[in-house]
């Protein structure tokens, strides 16, 4: 079969010697025969074993969770996929090939392919928009929710000025500076090799089509995609009965205002400590990953 030239895979040599990320690449087939890559670390151990599903957002990949994987894997199995278009997963070079339904469908395919059960969802940014929506529609697969710097958009909300500036920038630049975007949304001063690791998945400008598509896809009052799904998810999360922990950074200008509404939406969230991750920005996994892993393990232990 002739391979579609609009589908590309980043050369493996770009992922060699990544700092703090010496994890084997696994993959499953999702969607229209697309490879979705993931890390799978640790093991479930009897009745007390846990399965942590960690979902990244824009424009990162599973590397974002490298500081959290060690702590979480001491408590159970840690599964960290790269969404199609990101990380070590296959990429589509046609921006129009990406949609809310596309990403949602590949996430469902991924979880079903691995037959993940009793999941503790750990999600941030688009990982939360998609992950929380999926959990709301398939609660039988999920044991707990950990929502970080994310939300379940109503499709009617005004977006913060910082987000509007970000979306506008992504739309107008000829070359998308992925490393710069991540550094600008991180309180930590990232070393050059870490910045390079975030840029590694994008070996060509065409490979960044998924990263260019995601910002404008956020459901909102003047655009986006997937509002019907997120609105229904919000309704269902309003009746959620399993444990939920809303854990936001105190210095993220994009999602900070989402925190209290999300905590109020999910009934069980108010049963957990009222915690802010101090001194962290949008990519709080980068700024405080080890501490966040401890918070999540403590959440699991008390629930």
CATH of the domain at 110: 3.40.50.1820
Q: How far apart are CA 7 and CA 31, in angstroms?
A: 13
H or E stretch covering 81: strand 76-81
DSSP assignment of 260-298: HHHHHHSGGGGGS---EETT--S-HHHHHHHHHHHHHHH
H or E stretch covering 230: helix 227-237
136 and 240 Cβ atoms separated by less than 8 Å: yes
At 110-133, the pLDDT tens digits run 999 999 999 999 999 999 999 999
Is 125 tagged catalytic? yes
Does residue 2 form part of some domain? no
pLDDT for 48:
57
Catalytic member of 82, 125, 225, 287: 125
Give the pLDDT means over successive 10-residue stretches in the chain (303 positions): 70 96 97 96 69 98 98 96 98 96 98 97 98 98 98 93 95 97 97 98 97 97 94 98 98 95 97 97 98 98 95
Does residue 289 form part of some domain? yes
Does residue 225 form part of some domain? yes
146 and 299 Cβ atoms separated by less than 8 Å: yes
* Burial environment of residue 78 by CB neighbours within 10 A (0 to 12, 13 to 18, 19 or more): buried
At 271-300, the pLDDT tens digits run 999 999 999 999 999 999 999 999 999 999
Is 189 tagged catalytic? no
Does residue 142 form part of some domain? yes
Is 252 tagged catalytic? yes
222 and 154 Cβ atoms separated by less than 8 Å: no
* Mean of the per-residue pLDDT values of the chain: 95
Number of domains in the chain: 1
Expressed as residue numbers, the domain containing 233 is 7-302
Residues β-bridged to residue 148: 124
55 and 130 Cβ atoms separated by less than 8 Å: yes
pLDDT for 200:
98
Q: Which residues contact 101 (CB under 8 A, 6 or more apart)?
A: 225, 226, 229
pLDDT for 130:
98
pLDDT for 2:
39
pLDDT for 4:
58
Does residue 239 form part of some domain? yes
Q: Which residues contact 129 (CB under 8 A, 6 or more apart)?
A: 57, 150, 151, 152, 153, 218, 226, 230
pLDDT for 222:
87
pLDDT for 212:
97
Catalytic member of 82, 103, 225, 282: 282
pLDDT for 1:
35
Does residue 1 form part of some domain? no
| CB neighbours of residue 143 within 10 Å | 17
DSSP assignment of 36-57: EEEEEES---GGG-EEEEEE--
Catalytic member of 82, 225, 252, 287: 252
């Amino acid at each position: 079969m002739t391979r579609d030239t609009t589908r590309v895979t980043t050369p493996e040599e770009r992922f060699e010697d990544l700092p703090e990320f010496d994890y084997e690449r696994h993959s499953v087939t999702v969607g229209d025969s697309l490879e979705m890559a993931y890390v799978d670390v640790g093991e479930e151990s009897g009745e007390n074993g846990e399965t942590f599903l960690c979902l990244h957002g824009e424009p990162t990949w599973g590397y974002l969770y490298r500081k959290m994987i060690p702590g979480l894997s001491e408590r159970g199995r840690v599964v960290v996929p790269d969404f199609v278009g990101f990380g070590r997963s296959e990429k589509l070079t046609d921006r129009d090939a990406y949609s809310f339904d596309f990403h949602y469908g590949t996430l469902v395919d991924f979880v079903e392919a691995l037959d993940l059960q009793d999941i503790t969802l750990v999600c941030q940014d688009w990982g939360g928009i998609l992950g929380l929506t999926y959990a709301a529609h398939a609660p039988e697969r999920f044991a707990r929710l950990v929502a970080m710097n994310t939300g379940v958009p109503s499709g009617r909300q005004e977006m913060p000025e910082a987000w509007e500036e970000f979306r506008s920038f992504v739309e107008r630049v000829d070359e998308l500076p992925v490393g710069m975007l991540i550094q600008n949304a991180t309180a930590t001063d990232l070393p050059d090799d870490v910045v390079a690791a975030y840029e590694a998945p994008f070996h060509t400008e065409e490979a960044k089509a998924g990263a260019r598509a995601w910002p404008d896809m956020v459901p909102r009052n003047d655009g986006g995609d997937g509002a019907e799904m997120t609105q229904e998810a919000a309704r269902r999360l309003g009746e959620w009965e399993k444990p939920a922990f809303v854990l936001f950074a105190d210095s993220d200008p994009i999602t900070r205002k989402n925190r209290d509404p999300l905590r109020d939406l999910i009934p069980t969230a108010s049963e957990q400590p009222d915690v802010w991750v101090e001194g962290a920005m949008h990519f709080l996994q980068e700024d405080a990953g080890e501490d966040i892993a401890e918070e999540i393990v403590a959440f699991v232990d008390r629930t």
